[in-house]
């Protein structure tokens, strides 16, 4: 689906662009606007006069204060990731008035619209490489970076939206219960694995590290499984659900419980959080939760044994 378009780099105030060039130590010779993700600020590939290609994302706190905070948070996280984590490296952070801009190394590869078996394999490998690290001590427990995970319980209280929810919400809420405990761990977790947060070339690089945390080592792979279904596979919904099952079969049962929790999170957020800056997000959340229904129904049955 298409979102409210991101702002264009050319519309970023000139002093901000000049400050980015200054911090990078080279003039900007050309740029390509990027369209992935769901933030209102610009994301861009810059060609520098010294031949480098770099990535920059920026936002004004006046546009959306949350994204401003997330860029600052990500800048700090990139600096503490071990060098063996498949992530971009921070090159510069610029703050100018209400604006913040983060420049990182360019991650070669594509951010596609749909998963393929090759991109699933590459991203799964990148997740395993990242998750094999112990989380740096300053990262918070993952429970602090998971929001609205009691979505099924809240939906029951609020009134479920349709028959499917009425039938499944109770069992789903039971599956997710106690998530703060069973998601805990000391592995480095990216916590926001989605196709548009990856660059897949010969190998995959994980992008957008603002939510990194310490948690159970299977969380990113569970989120990958959910995203294959929610974002979609080039071979269609059945293939997506099948690939998610295949991934989840390699993981502990908690990974399946996590997928059920994500579906409830998207449902409750779609039902309760209006977004005036990017109203499409509610539609997107609802669509993700709906796409996950066949998988979630299956996982609930599995959980009951
Ligand atoms: N280092 C990079 N190299 C190349 N392309 C990148 C890089 N980082 C991000 N991108 C591209 O830019 C898009 C937006 O970047 P990113 O996901 O980091 O920020 P965001 O969209 O602002 O965050 P969110 O997804 O939380 O809204 C990505 O979907 C990806 O296509
Ligand atoms: Mg993103």
Return per-residue pLDDT of the chain as tens, 305 residues. 445 679 999 999 999 999 999 999 999 999 999 998 888 999 999 999 999 999 999 999 999 999 999 999 999 999 999 999 999 999 999 999 999 999 999 999 977 899 999 999 999 999 999 999 999 999 999 999 999 999 999 999 999 999 999 999 999 999 999 999 999 999 999 999 999 999 999 899 999 999 999 999 999 999 999 999 999 999 999 999 999 999 999 999 999 999 999 999 999 999 998 877 777 888 999 999 999 999 999 999 999 88
pLDDT at 301: 96
Residues 51, 201: Cα–Cα separation, whole Å: 21
pLDDT for the residue 36 = 83
Ligand 1 neighbourhood includes 199 CB (under 6 angstroms): yes
39 lines ligand 1 (CB under 6 A): yes
Task: Give the pLDDT of residue 4.
Answer: 62
For the chain, domains (ranges, CATH) are 9-105 (3.30.200.20), 117-304 (3.90.1200.10)
Cα separation, 206 vs 78, whole angstroms: 11
The confidence score (pLDDT) of residue 11 equals 97
Cβ distance 101 to 14 under 8 Å?
A: no
207 Cβ below 6 A of ligand 1: yes
- Sign of CA pseudo-dihedral 259, 263, 264, 269: positive
Q: How far apart are CA 30 and CA 223, in angstroms?
A: 35
Closest C-alpha to ligand 1, atom 28: 36
178 C-alpha to ligand 2 centroid (Å): 28
Q: Are 35 and 5 in contact (CB under 8 A)?
A: yes
Please give the distance, rounded to the nearest whole angstrom, from the Cα atom of residue 25 to the centre of ligand 1.
22
What is the rounded CA–CA span in Å between residue 230 and residue 222? 12
- Report pLDDT for 223: 98
Atom 5 in ligand 1: residue holding the nearest Cα: 107
- Which residue's CA lies nearest to atom 29 of ligand 1? 36
pLDDT score at 153: 98
Nearest ligand 1 atom to alpha carbon 109: 4
């Amino acid at each position: 689906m298409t979102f409210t378009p991101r702002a264009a780099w050319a519309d970023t105030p000139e002093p901000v662009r000049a400050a980015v060039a200054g911090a990078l130590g080279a003039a900007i010779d050309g740029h390509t606007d990027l369209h992935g993700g769901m933030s209102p600020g610009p994301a861009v590939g810059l060609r520098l006069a010294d031949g480098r290609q770099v990535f920059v994302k920026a936002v004004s706190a006046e546009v959306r204060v949350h994204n401003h905070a997330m860029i600052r948070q990500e800048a700090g996280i990139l600096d503490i990731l071990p060098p063996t984590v498949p992530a971009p490296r921070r090159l510069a952070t610029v703050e100018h008035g209400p604006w913040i801009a983060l420049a990182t190394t360019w991650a070669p590869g594509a951010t596609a619209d749909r998963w393929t078996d090759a991109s699933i394999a590459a991203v799964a490998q990148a997740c395993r490489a990242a998750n094999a690290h112990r989380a740096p001590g300053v990262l918070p427990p993952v429970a602090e970076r998971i929001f609205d995970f009691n979505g099924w319980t809240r939906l029951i209280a609020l009134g479920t939206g349709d028959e499917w929810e009425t039938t499944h919400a109770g069992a789903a809420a039971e599956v997710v219960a106690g998530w703060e405990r069973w998601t805990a761990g000391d592995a480095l977790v990216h916590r926001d694995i989605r196709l548009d947060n990856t660059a897949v070339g010969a190998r995959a690089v994980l992008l957008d590290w603002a939510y990194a945390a310490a948690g159970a080592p299977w969380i990113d792979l569970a989120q990958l499984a959910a995203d294959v279904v929610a974002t979609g596979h080039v071979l269609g919904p059945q293939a997506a659900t099948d690939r998610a099952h295949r991934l989840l079969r390699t993981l502990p049962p908690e990974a399946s419980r996590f997928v059920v929790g994500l579906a409830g999170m998207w449902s409750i957020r779609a039902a309760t959080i209006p977004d005036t800056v990017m109203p499409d997000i509610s539609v997107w959340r609802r669509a993700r939760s709906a796409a996950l229904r066949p998988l979630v129904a299956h996982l609930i049955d599995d959980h009951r044994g």
